[in-house]
Structures are given as C-alpha cells and as structure tokens.
Amino acid sequence: MTSAKVEDFRRIVWEHYKKNGRHDLPWRKTKDPYKILVSEVMLQQTQVPRVIEKYKKFLEAFPNVRSLARAPLGMVLKVWSGLGYNRRGKYVHDAAKEIVRAHKGKVPRDLAVLRTLSGMGPYTASAVRVFAFNEPDVLIETNVRTALIHHFFPISGDTISRYSDSEVLPIAKMAAKGQDPRKWHSALFDYGSYLKRNGIKINSRTRVYTKQSKFKGSLREVRGAILKAAHMGQDPESLPFSKRRIGAALVSLKRDGLI
C-alpha cells in the first residue's frame, strides 16, 4: 500500500462525487442530529429509493425528537408501515424517549453514549457522529467495502480471497485521513453504489456478507400484514395466512414489544 495509490483512489472518488454525487438526498441537506438519526435507522437493510418518501413523511409527522417521544407507539408504527423491519420504528421511538429523558432532548455526540440508545449498533452510532457532527469516525458498510475491495484487493489468478472488515479498515482510515468526514463518506457511498450498479459485485469476497432472506412467505411478511391490519382496525385472523403462521407472528410481535 502506497500513499500514491491512496491519493489516486481519493481523486477517483472525489471526481465521481463532483459529477454524479447524490446531493439531493434529503438527509444530506440537514445537519440536524435527530433527522440524521432517523435516516440512519431507516437506511438499515433498506434501499435508498424506498427510504426517501418514508423519511419525508416520518419527519412531517414527527418533526423533532420531542414530538416523536410524545407519540404513542401505534402512531409511530403506522407512519413507519411499509418500510419493513418494524422493530426499527420501535427502536427509534425508544431512542427518542431516552434522548428526551436522559439528554434534555439533544442527540448525544459521544460514541459511547450514542451506543446506549435503543437500536444504536456500532455502525449507526458512528454514522450519526459523522453525518450530524462531522466527527472523523470511519464507516464500513456495503458501498464502502465494494469501493475499497475493488480498488485495493484485486483478484489474482483463480483463487478468490474473502476479506474481513479488519483487513479493509486500515485502508479506509488511510483514505479518510485529512478529508472532510461528512463529505468524504457521502462521496465514498456514492462511488461504491455506482460500482455496484455497474456490475462490480464483492459479495463472494467479503466475510460479512449474508444473503437477505426472501420477504415473500417469511414471518416478516405475516408480521407486517398483522401490523397493517391493526392500523386499519381489521382482525388479523381475516388475513390470508394459516392460523399457525398468524399465531407465531403474534407471539413474535408481542415479544418485540410491537403489540
């Protein structure tokens, strides 16, 4: 690894961002920590196009952390409905209540404190720090992995190696050094997304990849249908699923605190 190679990589990323960056994404037009937190939770396991409209509607309903904290969970889940992974809606609702109760309504800046909030895993907490506070954390996610593995871990011969995040992280740190954290990671995300759209697939080359289970026919499908029926005042037993599947979904929804 040479500084010249890292500098060349930066140049490619910045040039792409200048010409093709997704500057119009709504969460890139704000530095409000609450709005950034909402966007980061929504973007977990969900494609950007699906998030955009839900993000706007969610903030129309709950424009600040106190309005979200005051709202009943049923109302929050109704607005969240259709985005999937409804536990995330409960997590962000719980986090809002914790922020109001323990942090005077202000999203904490400290990484360790952020990690204490509901739904705040290592990546999400660091992403809030980067995009809300411009702190120099280094983010590793699917677009970043795509860009870094494609450029710095070329395939040699017939053997395809699988790389861990611990191998990618040192290069990510080198590339991010001296860059504006917020803009650099936006640029890197966009470049990685561009590579994926153009056929660069690194799923078989990373150790963290797990194929997402199909929604159709899954317990998630039944759970989502039950919550949607509840918002509309319908009996869940009227849904086109077996009583056994409905029963299992109800048990899991109760366990997760969603009903």
Domain co-membership, 17 together with 36: no
List the catalytic residue out of 40, 60, 98, 237.
Answer: 40
Predicted local confidence at residue 197, as pLDDT: 93
Q: What integer pLDDT is reported at residue 107 of this predicted model?
A: 98
pLDDT of residue 1: 67
Same domain as 181, residue 123: no
By the 8 A CB rule, do 10 and 147 touch?
no
100 falls within a domain: yes
Q: What are phi and psi of 163, to 5 degrees?
A: -110, 145
Q: Assess if residue 211 is contained within a domain.
A: no
| pLDDT of the residue at 162 | 78
Q: Are 37 and 102 found together in one domain?
A: yes
Domain shared by 70 and 36, yes or no = yes
Residue 214 lies in a domain: no
Structural domain that includes position 157: 3-23+137-205
Select from 133, 155, 173 the last residue of a domain.
133
Give this prediction's pTM: 0.86
Q: Is residue 89 part of a domain?
A: yes
Question: How far is Cα 145 from Cα 127, in angstroms, rounded to an integer?
Answer: 15
Residues 123 and 179 grouped into a single domain: no
Tokens 């969970």, residue located: 73
Residue type (1 letter), 159: T
Residue 210 lies in a domain: no
Q: Alpha-carbon distance 215 to 44, whole Å?
A: 16
pLDDT at 236: 85
- pLDDT (0 to 100) of residue 211: 63
Q: 128 and 39 in one domain?
A: yes
CB 53 within 8 A of CB 94: no
C-alpha 99/C-alpha 165 separation (Å) is 31
Position 198 in a domain = yes
* 60, part of any domain: yes
Pair 124, 159 in one domain? no
Q: What is the pLDDT along the chain (259 residues), one digit of tens a residue?
A: 688 999 999 999 999 999 999 999 999 999 999 999 999 999 998 899 999 999 999 999 999 999 999 999 999 999 998 898 899 999 999 999 999 999 999 999 999 999 999 999 999 999 999 999 999 999 999 999 999 999 998 776 555 577 888 999 999 999 999 999 999 999 999 999 999 999 998 877 787 766 666 778 888 889 888 888 888 888 888 889 999 999 998 998 989 888 8
Adjacent-strand bridge partners of 15:
none
**Same-domain check for residues 129 and 41:** yes
Helix, strand or coil for residue 211? coil
Q: At what angle do helices 165-176 and 181-197 cross, to 10 degrees?
A: 130
Cα separation, 203 vs 24, in Å, equals 28
Coil vs helix vs strand at 206: strand
Domain count, the chain: 3
128 within 8 A of 40, measured Cβ to Cβ: yes
* Same domain flag for 141 and 19: yes
Measured distance CA(162)–CA(42) in Å, rounded: 29
Residue 178 tokens, joined: 């001296």
Residues 142 and 18 reside in one and the same domain: yes
CA pair distance 88, 181, nearest whole angstrom: 26
Name 159's bridge partners: 156
Q: Give, in order, the Cα–Cα distances in Å from 34 to each of 4, 157, 249.
A: 38, 48, 31
Give the max Cα distance, the chain: 64
For 10, other C-beta atoms within 10 Å of its C-beta total 19
Do the domain assignments include residue 106?
yes
Cβ-proximal residues to 57 (8 Å cutoff; 6+ apart), any chain:
79
How many CB atoms lie under 10 A from the CB of residue 1? 9
**Is 237 labeled as catalytic in the residue annotation?**
no
CB 198 within 8 A of CB 147: no
The gap from C-alpha 210 to its chain's centroid, in whole angstroms, comes to: 16
